[in-house]
Amino acid sequence: MNAYTWQFKLGIFLIVLSSLLYASLIVIPFLDISVSIKLGITPIIVIVGESIFWIGGVLVGKEFIVKYKKHLNPLNWIRKNKSCENNNDKDENSV
């Protein structure tokens, strides 16, 4: 996959855009607008963000999602660090 197609690049852009939309939900409660507008904007952002994410996922392809899924899961970050520490402990004990 050395030469990425425009579809792949667009898919990555859409996934990043959906993440930014979800991050904008943190700002909404602090805006100086009425509560009814805040309540109307929130589900729209969630629906649009989810739709954009899935469209981006389709464009990047199943192989990309499967390959990087384990890297994006925070539970795997903890397990990976513990397994590295356990290997280091074994090396120190064997010396």
Per-residue confidence in pLDDT tens, the chain, 95 aa: 456 788 889 999 999 999 999 999 999 999 999 999 999 999 999 999 999 989 998 998 888 877 777 777 777 777 655 555 555 555 555 54
43 and 72 co-located in one domain: no
Q: CA-CA-CA-CA torsion for 22, 27, 31, 37, nearest 10 degrees?
A: 20
43 and 21 co-located in one domain: yes
52 and 69 co-located in one domain: no
Per-residue pLDDT at 38: 94
72 and 31 co-located in one domain: no
Per-residue pLDDT at 14: 93
> Domain count of the chain?
2
39 and 11 co-located in one domain: yes
Helices (H) and strands (E) in the chain, counts: 4, 0
Question: For residue 16, what are the domain limits?
Answer: 1-60
